[in-house]
């Protein structure tokens, strides 16, 4: 051991602290701020494109009416969420969200994958009277949106503020005479459009599946079928299965009479496939929310409708 005084930096607390602080600050700046300017920290899905002025107007109405207080737009990467709503949310699909409308409260279902699930006419009827489709829905009706017209000048000013939205004079002219309800519907129909639908655990129902179910020998019941039918199906197919045509809105709500389904050659297994998989834009898929037994109950109930 030498008795030389220790001149190293470790014996100078003040200088040591200052140097340590500077080193930590440099590290912080690099790790915290550098990523902000890196392109790969701002992912964007390949097929995602900015909202049109019409959709953007609808998005504003969505915020104004407080839809986001009851609806999230954020499918969590949990099996239950994915089965119910579809592909979980990815960072790249929010590239044009200003502000984000992810939300956390789910009084109503998540809407991140709502685009294309229903027909435009369904949204019109549902927004005017949610109880038409879900008798127990606590979603408010928004009747004033039906007659309120968009102001093209106001929408254009808003679009300009966003900066990155390409639009032509024709896009603004298009807004002339359009209702707020139509804009809101266009916005809902745009949700999730950049996201690929395959490969997220979607199951597709087949005739084979129904045969396998029947082979087990446990059938559903007409009573159970009637209960589910009243809540889930009557809004589109009518309480008696004769359809619930609403004048010019009947397209996409129900053009079909379930009582005729058999005459048109629909066997039980076809109904199973139809109920399981739904129809893009027309009828939602129920395969991930109803069990095979529940679907069988629906089929048994529909068969009693045929006899009435």
Q: Is 82 left (phi over 0), alpha (psi -120 to 50) or beta?
A: alpha
Least gap, CB of 79 to ligand HEC (angstroms): 18
Answer for which of 51, 88, 133, 167 binds ligand HEC (CB under 6 A) is 133
Residues 183/62, Cβ–Cβ less than 8 Å: no
- Cis? peptide before 25, omega within 30° of 0: no
Can you tell me the distance from the alpha carbon of 157 to that of 195, in angstroms, rounded to the nearest whole number?
Answer: 29
Q: Which of 24, 26, 27, 69 binds ligand HEC (CB under 6 A)?
A: 69
d(CA 301, CA 304): 5
Cβ nearer to ligand HEC, comparing 55 with 232: 232
Residues 9-68 that bind ligand HEC (CB under 6 A): 62, 65-67
- The b/e string for 88-115 (b: 16+ C-beta within 10 A; e otherwise) is bbeeebbbbeeeebebeeeebebbbbbb
- # of chain residues touching ligand HEC (CB under 6 A): 47
Residue 172's CB: how many other CB atoms inside 10 A? 16
Query: What binding mask, one character per residue, do residues 100-119 give for ligand HEC by CB under 6 A, x or -?
Result: -------xxx-x--x--xx-
Residues 215-254 vs ligand HEC: string with x where CB under 6 A?
-----------------xx-xxx--------------xxx
Residue 227 CB, shortest distance to ligand HEC, in Å, is 11
Report the distance separating Cα 166 and Cα 163, nearest Å: 8
User: In the complex, which residues of this chain contact ligand HEC (CB under 6 A)?
Assistant: 62, 65-67, 69-71, 107-109, 111, 114, 117-118, 122, 130, 133-134, 137-140, 142, 184, 188, 232-233, 235-237, 252-256, 258, 261, 266, 271, 274-275, 279, 282-284, 286, 298
């Amino acid at each position: 051991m030498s008795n030389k005084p220790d001149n190293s930096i470790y014996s100078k607390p003040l200088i040591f602290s200052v140097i340590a602080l500077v080193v930590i600050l440099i590290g912080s700046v690099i790790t915290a701020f550098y990523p902000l300017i890196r392109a790969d920290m701002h992912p964007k899905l390949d097929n995602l494109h900015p909202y049109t002025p019409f959709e953007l107007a609808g998005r504003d109405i969505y915020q104004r009416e407080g839809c986001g207080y009851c609806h999230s737009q954020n499918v969590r990467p949990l099996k239950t969420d994915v089965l119910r709503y579809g592909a979980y949310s990815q960072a790249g699909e929010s590239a044009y969200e200003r502000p984000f409308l992810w939300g956390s409260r789910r009084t109503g279902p998540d809407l991140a994958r709502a685009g294309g699930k229903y027909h435009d006419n369904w949204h019109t009827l549902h927004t005017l009277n949610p109880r038409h489709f879900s008798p127990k829905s606590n979603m408010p009706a928004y009747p004033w949106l039906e007659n309120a017209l968009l102001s093209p000048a106001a929408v254009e000013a808003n679009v300009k503020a966003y900066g990155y939205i390409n639009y032509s004079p024709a896009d603004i002219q298009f807004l002339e005479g359009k209702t707020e309800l139509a804009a809101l519907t266009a916005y809902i129909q745009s949700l999730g459009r950049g996201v690929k639908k395959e490969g997220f655990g979607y199951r597709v129902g087949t005739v084979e599946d129904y045969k396998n179910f029947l082979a087990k020998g446990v059938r559903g019941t007409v009573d159970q079928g009637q209960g589910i039918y009243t809540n889930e199906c009557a809004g589109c197919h009518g309480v008696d299965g004769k359809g619930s045509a609403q004048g010019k809105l009947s397209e996409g709500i129900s053009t079909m009479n379930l009582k005729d389904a058999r005459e048109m050659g629909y066997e039980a297994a076809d109904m199973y496939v139809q109920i399981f998989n739904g129809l893009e834009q027309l009828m939602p898929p129920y395969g991930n929310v109803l069990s095979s037994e529940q679907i069988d109950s629906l089929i048994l109930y529909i068969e009693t409708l045929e006899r009435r």
